């Protein structure tokens, strides 16, 4: 039975596990709308429809539309969080680097590690009655360092009330992009320097300092064994060097790049541009087992202030950190 028009929305829903959307889904499950005109909308989107709030497109409403009732005002912080997350997703290349994402409720977290020796990595024949080789998994010695990244939204309700939500969304998207770039910098730091557990990336040096050849990339590929080199992360200067290699300039590659924007990549590895990196270094990694992302709570907004129209200095933050899973699954090429 459709129930979305009879729900009372209050601040306390933001303090529940899953936030406002999770609380609304419990009261108004999306599964109840299968086969109806509202199929495909989640509980929050149905509330926007209930109050006829359009947040995108040329016909988007003004910010003040959220504050016509106390119920609709309680939707505003979730709209802000979603717009920030949307900006993070658009600017985020972390999904191409992270093997797994761990959500935690506290601020203390220890990752696990399995560091087999070369002898332990080989799956030897086990004779009858003999002991089966062991793989030891233990917790890391040091906690994962979590960093709170965010922006302070400084504006008065009077300044924003007549602004279109479509335009305001663009601003919030940009805040999300800032957070995503900061988190990428944190991830790069962990890949290169380790997470405090004596697991910095091994450095492979190019044949000639200051230059990059295809042989250097092949050397990096060879040093990744037994892991797979499926991702390369490079700063702007090194991206230019890679794209200028003769092996990257055959006619078919040129046509693909000019026609679709898709670059040919060394050894089939995804080539990612990271302006945040320091020049002179390229990171090669196996994205399936190199990096773990740990996040506490996702995007968090000062919902009390936003609901009460106190937009002045309302914080939008995201707390996350990174841990290495297998140390040898990422290596650095010094150019």
If you write DSSP's letter for every residue of 90-125 in order, what string do you get? HH--GGGT-SEEEEESSS----EE----HHHHS---
3-state secondary structure of 53: coil
Mean pLDDT of 287-293: 95
- pLDDT tens-digit map of 76-129: 999 999 999 999 999 889 999 999 999 998 888 888 887 666 665 666 677 777
Bridge partners of residue 32, in order along the sequence: none
Q: How confident is the model at residue 304 (pLDDT cuts 50, 70, 90)?
A: confident
- pLDDT tens-digit map of 19-70: 999 999 999 999 999 999 999 999 999 999 999 999 998 889 999 999 999 9
The reported pTM is 0.85
Calculate ∠ Cα 325-146-81, nearest 5°: 110
Instruction: Report the C-alpha gap between 101 and 196 in whole angstroms.
Output: 19
Closest CA to 42 of 20, 19, 17, 25: 25
Residue 262 scores a pLDDT above 70: no
Integer angstrom CA distances of residue 172 from 14, 152, 299: 19, 11, 12
Instruction: Report the C-alpha gap between 40 and 60 in whole angstroms.
Output: 20
Q: Which two tokens stand for residue 189?
A: 């730091």
Closest CA to 32 of 7, 55, 51, 54: 7
Bridge partners of residue 147, in order along the sequence: 320
């Amino acid at each position: 039975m459709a129930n979305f028009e009879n729900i009372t929305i209050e601040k306390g829903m933001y303090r529940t596990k899953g936030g406002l959307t999770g609380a609304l889904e419990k009261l108004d499950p999306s599964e109840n709308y299968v086969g109806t005109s509202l199929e495909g909308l989640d509980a929050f989107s149905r509330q926007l429809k209930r109050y006829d709030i359009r947040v995108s497109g040329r016909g988007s409403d003004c910010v003040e539309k959220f504050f016509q009732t106390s119920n609709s005002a309680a939707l505003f912080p979730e709209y802000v969080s979603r717009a920030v997350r949307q900006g993070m997703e658009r600017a985020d290349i972390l999904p191409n680097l992270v093997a797994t994402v761990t959500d935690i409720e506290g601020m203390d977290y220890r990752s696990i590690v399995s560091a087999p020796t070369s002898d332990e990595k080989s799956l030897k024949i086990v004779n009858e009655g003999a002991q089966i080789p062991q793989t030891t998994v233990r917790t890391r010695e040091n906690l994962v360092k979590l960093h709170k990244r965010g922006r302070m939204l400084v504006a008065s309700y009077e300044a924003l009330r007549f602004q279109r939500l479509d335009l305001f969304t663009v601003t919030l998207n940009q805040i999300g992009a800032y957070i995503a770039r900061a988190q990428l910098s944190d991830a790069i730091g962990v890949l290169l320097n380790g997470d405090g557990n004596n697991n910095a990336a091994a450095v492979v040096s190019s044949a000639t300092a200051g230059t990059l050849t295809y042989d250097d990339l092949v050397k990096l590929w060879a040093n990744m064994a037994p892991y797979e080199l499926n991702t390369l992360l490079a700063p702007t200067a090194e991206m230019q060097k890679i794209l200028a290699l003769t092996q990257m300039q055959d006619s078919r590659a040129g046509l693909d790049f000019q026609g679709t924007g898709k670059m040919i990549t060394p050894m089939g590895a995804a080539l990612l541009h990271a302006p945040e990196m320091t020049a002179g270094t390229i990171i090669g990694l196996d994205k399936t087992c190199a990096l773990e992302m740990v996040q506490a709570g996702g995007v968090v907004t000062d919902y009390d202030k936003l609901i009460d129209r106190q937009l002045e200095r309302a914080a939008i933050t995201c707390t996350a950190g990174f841990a290495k899973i297998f140390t040898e699954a990422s290596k650095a090429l010094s150019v």
